[in-house]
Amino acid sequence: MEEIIRSPENCRNQTITEPITSTTCTSWKLYDNPFYYSQHHHHHHPHPIHLPLSARRIAASLWDLSFFRPIMNSELDIAQARIFELKTQLEFERKLRKKVVFTNKKLAREFSEERNGRQAMKRVCEELAKEIVSNKAEMERMRREMEEERKMLRMAEVLREERVQMKLTEAKILLEEKLFELKVSKGIQIEPSTSKMEQKKQENKLGLCEEFSM
């Protein structure tokens, strides 16, 4: 750097304007060090010694470094504290991310189990619905069969009653014929009741036809 931060040594050397040449800039040896003062120099040079410009610049640079070291150290401490804070925050976020991932996996597993349970429940409900429909159809079929059986039983009862009535009628007719024969044999004149018997037979037949039509 051609220019450096100003310091008290630089302020003292602002009046020196001699050019820097090979004759004026000697090699920087121990006796050219501005921080080295021997007893001989103190005796012969009671005033500040006139050192070469390069040595004065080096001394000023060292002084500036010693001046800025605390500032640099404080900035370094701040940077290290910031790095530590970021590291702590990163570690916290990493742990939080692991926790979130674990929670997501747990929720996904619970959701999968719940979905499987819901599907199983759906299958059970479908099977129950099929069974209900089948049972309903079976009940309807049984109801129709019972209705048919009831009709058949009613018809059988009607037929049985008609047969009983017919047998009673036939028995009555036979009884009347027997009585008629007895009366004829005794000479009693009575009108035959054959026309009445035929009329009753016709009425019985009409009743049977009406029952079957129902």
| pLDDT per residue as tens digits for the range 114-164 | 999 999 999 999 999 999 999 999 999 999 999 999 999 999 999 999 889
Distance in angstroms (rounded) separating the CA atoms of residues 30 and 189: 190
Q: What is the pLDDT of residue 145?
A: 92
pLDDT digits (tens, 9 = 90+) for 63-72: 666 666 676 6
pLDDT at 177: 87
Low-confidence spans in the chain with pLDDT less than 70: 1-57, 59-69, 71-72, 187-214
Contact 77, 47 (CB under 8 A): no
pLDDT (0 to 100) of residue 52: 59
- Compute CA distances 211 → 22, 148, 153, 195, 204, whole Å: 153, 15, 13, 25, 11
Q: Residue 207: what pLDDT?
A: 61
- DSSP letters spanning the chain: --S----HHHHHGGG------TTTS----GGG-TT---HHHHHH--SPP---HHHHHHHHHHHHHHHHHHHHHHHHHHHHHHHHHHHHHHHHHHHHHHHHHHHHHHHHHHHHHHHHHHHHHHHHHHHHHHHHHHHHHHHHHHHHHHHHHHHHHHHHHHHHHHHHHHHHHHHHHHHHHHHHHHHHHHT------HHHHHHHHHHHHHHHHHHHH-
